[in-house]
Amino acid sequence: MDWLNYHHLLYFHTIAREGSVTKAAEVLRLAQPTLSGQVRKLEEALDEKLFEREGRGLALTDVGHMVYRYADDIFSLGRELVDALRGRPTNRPARVLVGVADVVPKLICHRLLSVALDMEEPVQLTIHEGKTNDLLAALAVQEYDMVLTDLPLGPQARIKAFNHSLGSCGVGFFGRPALARQLREDFPRCLDDAPMLLPTTNTALRYELDQWFESIDVRPRIVAEFEDTALMKVFGQHGTGVFPAPVVVADEIRAMHGVRLIGQTDDVLERFYAITVERRITHPAVARIAEAAREGVLG
């Protein structure tokens, strides 16, 4: 392809944004057959399928997601150009698109990513949360600049990407004040038969906790298991049981949930990684996040 028809790109972008040809036709005031025909021409020019049928609607293909991201940047720049010519200030911040695995604690996510917002050059964070495998698939087609997760990418992974360690921290055990007072003596033996809230067995933290409990011969009474650690903390806040969390954010957890720290251990570590398609990070915001982690943002 020697050139790109930007009208066709606009039609594609509008369909993807609106979610259907029908809605896009209303926005653009074009007939649906005309709109569909123009998008087919774009697919022919790119020699790629951009949409696929999903039930009665349309869904973007992997290539479609990548083209949509570029189109979004192109039309944003176009609007900036118009504003600049009209004498308006643009101050367009650099965007950093981050996928966050849903097992990463929210307070840790904030601590790691918020450093990008303190950069001299303005940055706009766009954060999507999801399952690690789904996020990595999107990273492979450059939908994200980085994926934040609690596990490194293994050798069996189907995508070419690179792990960047962001550090680790020990784990604390928290509970409502009345429960904490009962259990503070003789930690960690006090956790034996204690009501316990734990992450589900498919998580790295749960694996480490199970190994640790086994090694110290402690059998907590598991009351509930959670995929969402934020929900686990809410249950702990209401006195359902003891819950584990990164000790580096202990002050925030106590303040937010009205709980107390029962005890902590460095024999169980929560580890965090940035995964990118680059061996050497070039995005300034992602590089700053990795640099802050090396400087000890996790304590």
Please give the tally of structural domains in the chain.
3
Would you say 285 and 116 are in contact if contact means Cβ atoms under 8 Å apart? yes
Would you say 243 and 173 are in contact if contact means Cβ atoms under 8 Å apart? yes
Question: With pLDDT > 90 as the criterion, what percentage of the chain qualifies?
Answer: 51
Q: In sequence order, which residues have a C-beta less than 8 Å from that of residue 123 and are 6 or more positions away?
A: 93, 94, 95, 96, 116, 117, 285
Q: What is the C-alpha separation between 104 and 167, in angstroms, rounded? A: 13
Confidence at residue 185, expressed as pLDDT on a 0 to 100 scale:
86
In this structure, is residue 299 part of a structural domain? no
With helix as H, strand as E and coil as C, how does 150-164 read? CCCCCCCCCCCCEEE
Q: Which residues constitute the domain of residue 211?
A: 169-270
User: pLDDT averaged over consecutive 10-residue blocks of the chain (299 residues)?
Assistant: 78 89 86 88 90 83 89 82 62 83 93 91 90 87 89 80 92 96 91 96 94 97 94 96 96 95 96 90 90 86
Asked whether residue 56 falls in the same domain as residue 139, the answer is no
Structure tokens at 38: 């123009």
Map tokens 């774009």 to a residue: 42
Asked whether residue 77 falls in the same domain as residue 102, the answer is no
Question: For the chain, how far is it from start to end, CA to CA, in angstroms?
Answer: 51
Give the residues across from 162 on adjacent strands. 276
Structure tokens at 288: 């700053």
**Per-residue DSSP letter, 242:** B
Would you say 120 and 288 are in contact if contact means Cβ atoms under 8 Å apart? no
Amino acid (one-letter) located at 291: E
Confidence at residue 1, expressed as pLDDT on a 0 to 100 scale:
44
In 3D space, the residue among 195, 203, 294, 296 whose CA is nearest the CA of residue 238 turns out to be 195
In this structure, is residue 245 part of a structural domain? yes
Q: Report pTM.
A: 0.69
> Is-cis flag, bond preceding 195, omega within 30?
no
- Residue 246, H or E segment: strand 243-246
Confidence at residue 100, expressed as pLDDT on a 0 to 100 scale:
96
By CB neighbour count within 10 A (0-12 exposed, 13-18 middle, 19+ buried), where does 218 fall? middle
Asked whether residue 287 falls in the same domain as residue 208, the answer is no
Would you say 25 and 31 are in contact if contact means Cβ atoms under 8 Å apart? yes
Amino acid (one-letter) located at 85: L
CATH number at residue 28: 1.10.10.10
Confidence at residue 120, expressed as pLDDT on a 0 to 100 scale:
85
Asked whether residue 55 falls in the same domain as residue 185, the answer is no
Would you say 235 and 174 are in contact if contact means Cβ atoms under 8 Å apart? no
Confidence at residue 89, expressed as pLDDT on a 0 to 100 scale:
54
In this structure, is residue 1 part of a structural domain? no
Query: For the chain, how are helix, strand and coil distributed in percent, rounded to 5?
Result: 45, 25, 30
Asked whether residue 260 falls in the same domain as residue 276, the answer is no
